[in-house]
Homo-oligomer: A and B are copies of this chain.
Amino acid sequence: MSITVLKGHIVSAPKLGALETLENGYLVLDDGIIQGAFSSLPERFASAPVSDYGDRLILQSFADMHLHAPQYPMLGLGMDLPLLDWLKQYTFRTEAQFQDTDYAREIYRQLAQRLIRSGTTRVVMFSSIHTDATLILMEELERAGVTGYVGKVNMDRNGAPGSYQETTEESKRETLRFLEAAADFSRVKPILTPRFTPTCTDELMAWLGQTARERGLYVQSHLSENKQEIAWVRELHPDCVEYWETYDKFGLFSDHTVMAHCVYSSAREREAMKRRNVLVAHCPDSNINICSGFVPLQIMLEEGLWVALGSDIAGGAELPMNRVITAAIRMSKAKRIESEWAQDFLTVIEGYYLGTTAGARYFGAGAGFAPGDPLHAIVVDDAALPKTRALSLRERLERAIYLMDDRSIVAVYSEGKKVV
């Protein structure tokens, strides 16, 4: 046994709408694995070393369930362009640069550092089409202490032919090379990543579905982000009634598939996601920046869909997940206004759950600070935020979610290890 103890104000969201708070509590770890959270330290742990965080908050760290690593250099750029121009003028050009592995190393090291210092310890991430850059990304994430899934992107049509697109053969071959090399990593795992239906031929989709099945791999992609896209998909697959069926018919819509956006998913599409245990990666800041639309979040949650949050950089311009949580709150309020107050908004406590436990479940974690899980946590010093009256822990959580930045995060634990 290698027992260590963290002391501080422990705040977790074990389920949607619930908050557990322990003032001056003790979080006991054995070799980084949570043994329990206690209001007073049990006698049997009395001799263990204590990291005393005093009046600081010990919060769950964040899970970012959808982001594009090679779009990091275009963060906060091109926001005035409509989606298709944005893709052509910025996105494909930016991603194409990751053929250069030195460039990839530099950018991905920056990104991994920025993620961990913002308190994001788990990700489900798109890379570019480049196998070597993708492996570099995995290295840099592991080095920084970020865990999760990374996918080399597959796109063999409707990209930028000549500069940023693969042939079907290349896409298959490079995917196999990626999967083989990715086996060397322990904390970051590969995920299959057809960019979205319009950029993948039927042959490639079928091969990816078969590969997922044969190797037991998870899949990530995009679904029903905007109306033009949906119309385009319908043209490409006249045999499918709805967008999700274009994935489903190739075996790419099953347990733990991550589908980003789902802004315009119908009741039937949502029902299919629920039945298949597909995770909806809701990306609120991206949805507003590129004018996609308002997700019916309240309805999805009431229906019991599995929803978590994604920064979706660089459609999203906010990498820190506390800002993505407030974006989700704000967008739920926009939906409330648009629906003439028919739909309720997301509360801060619900937002904290969506940004933590809801995503952590994807990686096999339990609810909140569950015993048996490796610790994923951040320690927040809110003393530099505006001085105010004495606040409850619930209020301090709210203020931290709205106002904190990387300067407020004084320690980060990932997979049981202190990484910041």
- For window 72-87 of A, CB contacts with B under 8 Å fall at 72-80
Contacting residues, chain B, for A326 (C-beta < 8 A) = 317
* A83 CB to nearest chain B CB (Å): 12
Q: Is A294 an interface residue (CB 8 A)?
A: yes
Q: Is A330 an interface residue (CB 8 A)?
A: yes
Whether A403 lies near B75 (C-beta < 8 A) is yes
Partner of A334, one of B80, B334, B347: B334
Whether B337 lies near A293 (C-beta < 8 A) is yes
A144 to B386, CA, bound (A): 17
A72 to B387, CA, bound (A): 8
- For window 262-303 of A, CB contacts with B under 8 Å fall at 288-289, 291, 293-294
Whether A333 lies near B289 (C-beta < 8 A) is yes
**Chain A residues touching B, range:** 35 or more
Contacting residues, chain B, for A73 (C-beta < 8 A) = 386-389
Contacting residues, chain B, for A402 (C-beta < 8 A) = 75-77, 79, 317
Contacting residues, chain B, for A403 (C-beta < 8 A) = 75-76, 317
A345 to B82, CA, bound (A): 11
A76 with B399, Cβ < 8 A, contacts A337-B293, A387-B106 known: yes
* A405 CB to nearest chain B CB (Å): 7
Give per-residue flags for A389-403: 1 if the beta carbon is below 8 A from chain B beta carbons, else 0: 101000100110111
* A348 CB to nearest chain B CB (Å): 6
Give the 9 A-B residue pairs with the shortest CB-CB distance, closest first: A76-B402, A73-B388, A76-B399, A76-B403, A334-B334, A80-B347, A317-B402, A288-B330, A338-B338
